[in-house]
Amino acid sequence: MGLITLVGCEAHDFSSGTADAAAKILGVDLKRPQPVPKEIVEKAKVVGREVVCLCGTCPRRLVANCECGWARQNQHTIQYALMQGKTSEQIVNAFTEAHGLKSLPHPPATAFGRLSWALPFGGAALTLLLLTWYGLRLRSEPELVPVPTQRETVNPEELAVRKRLEQELDELEDE
């Protein structure tokens, strides 16, 4: 079993809270470097994929994949907590307690968490369906034709003018 010796980590104070807040909750001492077995390092990478970096400069990378100081310190926190016998759920819960739900890469698998992902997609699908329905409805409606309500009286002089106009228009079309 190979051992990896860690060099000490420095504590940073970031806008999302102190980087060692989860370590304090887990009871991990980051001031004393300890040798970490390779199996723990590999298991820590798996747990590190369940927590995102909150340093403020990274684009919310997973702690297992990030190289900044905040992420490295919390990688050590995860490793030491695993060495103390903590489960991955306890470690993730400590990060959630220390930093809130923003420390998770996705909402928790609860009914509300699933709803928070499904609601925007459902709303977009419903909007698309309503717009399609409305567009088809507008397209298929018959044209409205005005219907006279009173009988029109036709002036004989006006009738003669209309006939002459129609004849002149026909003559122009024939030319």
Domain of 87, in residue numbers:
9-103
Alpha helical stretches, state H, the chain: 21-26, 38-48, 69-83, 88-99, 111-140, 156-174
10-residue mean pLDDT profile of the chain (175 residues): values are 39 49 82 82 88 85 86 87 87 87 79 81 94 85 70 77 91 84
The answer as to whether 25 is a domain residue is yes
Phi, psi at 121, each rounded to 5°: -70, -40
The answer as to whether 54 is a domain residue is yes
Which position has the token pair 């310190």? 73
The answer as to whether 141 is a domain residue is no
Count up the domains in the chain and report the number.
1
Q: What does pTM read for this prediction?
A: 0.56
The answer as to whether 84 is a domain residue is yes
The answer as to whether 124 is a domain residue is no
Going by the DSSP 8-state scheme, the letter that residue 5 receives in this structure is E
The answer as to whether 73 is a domain residue is yes
Handedness of CA 48, 53, 55, 58 (dihedral sign): positive
Q: Which residues pair with 18 in a beta bridge?
A: 13
Q: Which residues pair with 4 in a beta bridge?
A: 36
CATH of the domain at 79: 1.10.8
The answer as to whether 151 is a domain residue is no
C-alpha span between 3 and 145 (Å, rounded) = 88
- CB-CB contact of 24 with 73 (8 Å): no
C-alpha span between 120 and 37 (Å, rounded) = 44
